């Protein structure tokens, strides 16, 4: 038998063995399917419970008076709610209650509201939160006669006038112009209708203006002149001719051989 026949017989034998293995595997039944019981199946993750927490609806600056539009209710995980957060389920009227308060510190949009970071009208520290940075609150005596008949209300703008006796006559000059009124007595709301007569008016002034007004109160009679709402642009200012100490600069004028002193920009000194 030659070599070619031996190779053919060997290949035929290997093919026969392979065919037999395939036929045997095809004839065997498939393995039974594994049954997974509900007891061994992984349980679905429980839903995260959330609360409705009061947060800032926008960025809030220090000293800013907030309104209902400054807040919103936002979902918050129960486990992340800490003491001090305002939760709707426990305080559903928090937005209405906090409207009109003033922010002590800056807050960013989405930040939970902490009530201690707001100051309500009438609480200690409210006036300090209302004053613009760099300004001072100064109280001056007033009355119905010296305060435009009681029609000056908080947030109005006034000129501060000083009246001094001069040689048995009276001379009046302007001490500070366009001053914002913070409060009349203990009232700091401008929503009240009608007249508001008080004994003191709290004014917002710069440090130099505060010194000028304090000197005016000690020197003579101070009165407030109400400005038109169309004439309130800009900040409080010293009148032209008055220095930072609140003293009117004067010039000596001789008329008919008599000396007179005339204040620059403020009337007679």
Is the domain of 178 the same as that of 103?
no
94 Cβ partners below 8 Å, 6+ apart? 54, 71, 86, 88, 113
Nearest to 184 by CA among 166, 202, 167: 202
What pLDDT score was predicted for residue 256? 54
- Taking the alpha carbons of 130, 132, 137, 140 in that order, is the dihedral positive or negative? negative
Least confident of 140-144, 172-176, 188-192: 188-192
Residues 248 and 153 in one domain: yes
Mean pLDDT (the chain) is 78
Q: To the nearest whole percent, how much of the chain has pLDDT over 70?
A: 67
| Same-domain status, 125 and 190 | no
When pLDDT is averaged across residues 245-257 and rounded to a whole number, the result is 51
User: Domain boundary residue among 75, 104, 129?
Assistant: 129
Residue numbers of the domain that contains 243: 133-263
Residues 243 and 145 in one domain: yes
Q: What is the predicted pLDDT for the residue at 110?
A: 93
pLDDT score of 209 more than 80: yes
Please tell me the predicted confidence (pLDDT) of residue 266: 44
The alpha carbons of the chain give a radius of gyration, in whole angstroms, of 42
The more confident residue out of 16 and 241 is 16
Question: Do the Cβ atoms of 226 and 158 come closer than 8 Å?
Answer: yes
- Range name among 63-72, 122-131, 231-240, 249-258 with the lowest pLDDT average: 249-258
Contact 248, 263 (CB under 8 A): yes
Q: How confident is the model at residue 195 (pLDDT cuts 50, 70, 90)?
A: low
Dump pLDDT digits (tens) for 20-55: 666 666 666 666 666 655 566 666 766 767 889 999
- Residues 143, 234 within the same domain: yes
pLDDT at 204 (0 to 100): 92
Residue 204 makes CB contacts below 8 A (sequence gap 6+) with: 131, 132, 135, 136, 137, 179, 180, 181, 182, 236
Report the distance separating Cα 18 and Cα 238, nearest Å.
111
Tell me: pLDDT of 264 over 50: no
Cα–Cα distance, 13 to 51 (Å, whole number): 77
Our count of domains for the chain comes to 2
pLDDT of residue 48: 65
* 106-115 residue pLDDT tens: 999 999 999 9
Q: What is the mean pLDDT of residues 194-209?
A: 82
Contact between residue 52 and residue 74 where contact means Cβ atoms under 8 Å apart: yes
Whether residue 251 is predicted with pLDDT greater than 50 in this model: the reply is no
The whole-number pLDDT of residue 179 equals: 92
| Residue 83 falls inside a structural domain | yes
Within this chain, do residues 147 and 123 fall inside the same structural domain, yes or no?
Answer: no
Q: Is there a domain that residue 268 lies in?
A: no
For residue 259, pLDDT beyond 60: no
**Cβ-contact 236, 205 below 8 angstroms:** yes
Q: Are residues 82 and 185 in the same domain?
A: no
pLDDT at 194 over 60: no
């Amino acid at each position: 038998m030659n070599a070619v026949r031996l190779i053919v017989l060997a290949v035929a034998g290997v093919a026969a063995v392979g065919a037999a293995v395939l036929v045997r595997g095809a004839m065997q039944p498939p393995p039974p399917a594994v049954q997974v019981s509900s007891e061994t199946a992984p349980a679905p993750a429980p839903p995260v419970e959330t609360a409705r927490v009061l947060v800032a609806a926008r960025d809030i600056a220090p000293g800013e008076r907030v309104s209902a539009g400054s807040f919103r209710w936002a979902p918050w995980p129960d486990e992340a709610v800490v003491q001090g957060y305002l939760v709707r389920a426990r305080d559903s009227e928090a937005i209405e209650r906090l409207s009109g308060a003033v922010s002590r510190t800056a807050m960013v949009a989405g930040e939970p509201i902490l009530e201690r970071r707001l100051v309500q009208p009438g609480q200690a520290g409210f006036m300090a939160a209302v004053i613009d940075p760099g300004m001072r609150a100064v109280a001056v005596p007033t009355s119905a006669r010296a305060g435009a008949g009681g029609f000056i209300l908080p947030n109005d703008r006034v000129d501060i006038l000083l009246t001094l006796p001069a040689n048995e006559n009276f001379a009046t000059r302007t001490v500070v112009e366009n001053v914002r009124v913070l409060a009349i007595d203990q009232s700091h709301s401008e929503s009240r209708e009608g007249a508001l007569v008080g004994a003191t008016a709290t004014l917002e002034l710069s440090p130099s203006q505060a010194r000028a007004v304090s000197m005016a109160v000690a020197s003579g009679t101070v009165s407030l002149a109400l400005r038109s709402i169309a004439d309130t642009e800009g900040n409080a200012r010293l009148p032209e001719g008055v220095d930072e100490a609140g003293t009117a600069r004067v010039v000596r004028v001789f008329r008919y051989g008599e000396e007179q002193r005339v204040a620059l920009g403020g009337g007679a000194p």
